[in-house]
Amino acid sequence: MTLHLNASESVSQKILSFLESLKKEGESVELIDDSIYKFEKNGILQGLKQIENSEVYSSDELLKELNK
């Protein structure tokens, strides 16, 4: 499940503290702040645009180009 949180600073701190306690207990929790979310979203949108424009290369083609 993905959760995007918009809360006051005090509520955010309580939630983050709780999530950290879950991580310490071995639960799987990944925290992504707004800047990372925006960065990843932009990367996904760029990738989708490249697919639309047929700017996708096979791994073999990429390796040939990198080995030149």
3-state secondary structure 28-55: CCCCCCHHHHHHHHHHHHHHHHHHHCCC
pLDDT of residue 57: 87
The answer to whether the pTM exceeds 0.85 is no
For residue 62, what pLDDT band results from cuts at 50, 70 and 90? Answer: confident
Rg (CA), the chain: 19
For the chain, the domains span 1-31, 34-68
Q: What is the pLDDT of residues 18-53, one digit of tens each?
A: 988 998 999 988 877 778 888 999 999 999 999 999
Q: Is the pLDDT of residue 3 over 80?
A: no
